[in-house]
Chains A and B, each alone.
Chain A
Amino acid sequence: MARDSEATLESMNRALTGVKPVSARRQLVNVGDRVFYLVARSLALLVIVLAFLLVADLFRGASESIRQFGLKFLIGTTWDPVAHQFSTLPTVIGTLVKGFIALLLAVPVSIGSAIFITFYTPRWLRPVISYPIELLAGIPSIIFGMWALFAMVPVVRVVQIWLKAHFGWFFLFDGPAVYGVGVLSGSLILFIMITPIITAISKEILLTVPRAQIEGMLALGSTKWEAIWKVALPYARIGLFGAVILGLGRALGETMAVTMVGGNSFALIHSLFDPVHSMASQIASEFTEATYSLYVSSLIYVGLVLFGITILISLLAQFLIWRISKGKIALLD
């Protein structure tokens, strides 16, 4: 009853003040208002147009290659600009492998950090830890690339040579270790880059867990970890999964850092040390060298595939995070 009358009151209120009218346009008698409405509306429309233009332009740019190679582009293993033959399976595999290795490392680290910050850190200390981590999320990818190339790769190279010398019989370590750049370096820098992103969102999601539920568990005599494991994580799992998927999307689309340390060679990978392109790095490193239209078109086709994969992932992530936060968390990273 009370809720009904409140709703009636609110709708009367809205109708009288015109602040949130049912039909926005009909309320606008003033000429300035009409003009303002039209301008704002067309700017909003422009956002939709831009989104469609993006998709249309990618398809148009890739059309020559799509006509020539069709879906075989995705399953073939030759990228031969001299012979005018293009297909991209090794790059797609390289991208996915690097993304998943990065995720494998980033998931425990970032969710662990998020749990630690949310449940084990006193309130006053929380920003001291989480603030720098969020700062890391805003650093340009080119700077990660610089650091990776000059500080990380030499270390990775030493480790790779050691691993190959002692465990070279294992297929993952049986590759060209001396380059330093390759699957392992690419995965590591992606891991470092997506960890702060996943941590920041996971933290926000864990904060949505009702405090009373955890306190109830503690009052029943559980340890803190039992309360987290049995109450907080089950409550937040969908949102956390969304955060992880979002991190994966960022990892797959990441360009500069991976271009600098991923090795950039077009081949099917056999070991952790093989240098390999990811889709973004292939576009970045070959685009300005592409001398004829089918070559350019094939690179845009690679971009279209990348776009498709990342959009699907980002839609999934958005849906999952929205489901738990009901729109309370604005996604920017």
Chain B
Amino acid sequence: MTLNSRDRYRKFVEWANWTGMLFCTSVSVFFLVAILGYVLVNGASYIDWEFLTAMPVPAGETGGGIANALVGSFLVVIVASLMALPIGIGAAIFINEFPSQGFGRTVRFLAEVLTGVPSIVVGLFAYALVVIPSGGFSALSGSVAYAFIMVPIILITAHEALRLVPDSLREASLALGIPKWRTIMGVVLPVSSRALITGAVLAISRALGEAAPMLFTAFGNSFWNVNLTKPIATVPLLIYTYATGPYEDWHRKAWAASFVLLVVVLFTSVLTRAFLRGKSNE
């Protein structure tokens, strides 16, 4: 079959666009490989047991680790989760199980808007809300900032999870004479628990990586601290301090800490996705 010139042109356009878009996709994938590869390879070569379990040493001395920052990150995120989980899931229950015309929609809308607030602004908020009144930087103010980032994520994922619970389950429970609150606690939440946990893990891993809101809340600390009213070290902030510092040894530690953070974030991300996929297959 011979093509006339117009059709040849159309085939050329098709081919050109296909190539162009393949190129675009390659660019995206290239950066992924470049970033993950660089951080993982660089970080892995500096990491050892001492790095994870030792305290930081003064600049110039070799050795030392980030034990205090690991514990600090863990502590700040746990306290943040204690604040964010009840608010996020409670609000989602209210929106979904007690439908009201405008109120529920307003809450959901606000949650979606709040996911777009820059993390540095969240830091300013926690500063104005906790640090100024309490008179100093503290781990607790860091938790408030993290919680503020987590609430909208938990709320939205929990709302989507509760939506998927079939009404027939609620009706079956109510028909047995079980009060509504027992129905929600005993039937609706357990049925959607998998998706609820996924949302919570997603929120936690998002918060774990945030450095900006910690700058003037948790502030950082080069010593051991588990007191919530004192400044505390966190991993992302430690990476920032070490990476922008002048010492070669600090840079190495920043790479190793990035490796730890990246592994945790990737691990949770892959895990939650596998979880969700298992859910949709059922």
Interface set of A (CB-CB < 8 Å, partner B): 17-20, 24-25, 27-28, 30, 32-33, 35-37, 39-41, 43-44, 46-48, 50-51, 53-54, 57-58, 60-61, 108-113, 115-117, 120, 129, 131-133, 135-136, 138-147, 149-151, 192, 195-196, 199, 223-226, 246, 249-250, 252-256, 259-260, 280, 283-284, 287-288, 299-300, 303, 306-307, 310-311, 313-315, 317-318, 330-332
Bound together, the chains give a CA A24 to CA B156 distance in angstroms of 21
Does the CB pair B125–A54 fall under 8 Å?
Answer: yes
Query: At the interface, yes or no: B79 with Cβ under 8 Å from chain A?
Result: no
A17-B171, A44-B90 in contact; A287/B211 too (CB < 8 A)? no
What are 23 A-B interface contacts by the 8 Å CB criterion?
Answer: A17-B175, A24-B99, A32-B182, A43-B90, A61-B124, A113-B28, A116-B22, A136-B31, A139-B265, A140-B210, A142-B209, A142-B240, A143-B239, A143-B262, A146-B39, A147-B34, A196-B28, A223-B14, A254-B118, A260-B244, A287-B124, A300-B128, A317-B116
Binds A, one of B49-57, B59-67, B105-113: B105-113
- The answer to whether A138 touches B119 (Cβ under 8 A) is no
Contacts of B91 in A (CB 8 A): 40, 43-44, 46-47
Q: Bound complex: CA of A111 vs CA of B90, how far in Å? A: 37
How many whole Å from A110's CB to the nearest CB in chain B? 7
Q: Which residues of B contact A150 (CB under 8 A)?
A: 42, 243, 251, 255
Whether B94 pairs with A129 at a CB distance below 8 angstroms is no
Tally the A-B contacts, defined by beta carbons under 8 Å.
Answer: 292
> For B211, what are the chain A residues with a Cβ–Cβ distance below 8 Å?
140-142, 255-256
Contacts of A142 in B (CB 8 A): 209, 211, 236, 239-240, 258, 261
CA distance A139 to B29 in the complex (A): 14
Is B258's CB under 8 angstroms from A143's CB? Answer: yes
Tell me which residues across on chain B come within 8 A of A311, comparing CB atoms.
113, 116-117
* A194 shortest CB reach to chain B, Å: 11
Chain B: number of interface residues, binned into ranges:
35 or more
Given the complex, which residues of B lie within 8 Å of A259, measured CB to CB? 240
Complex formed: what's the CA distance from A120 to B22 in Å? Answer: 9
Q: Which of A24, A133, A145, A256 has the most B CB atoms < 10 Å from its CB?
A: A256
A143 CA to B265 CA in the complex, in Å?
Answer: 11
Partner of B103, one of A44, A109, A280: A44
Q: State whether A113 touches B215 (Cβ < 8 A).
A: no
Question: B68 contacts the other chain (Cβ, under 8 Å)?
Answer: no
- Flag if B93 contacts A61 (CB, 8 Å): no
Given A41-B94, A58-B128, A132-B29, A143 and B261 contact (CB-CB distance below 8 Å): yes
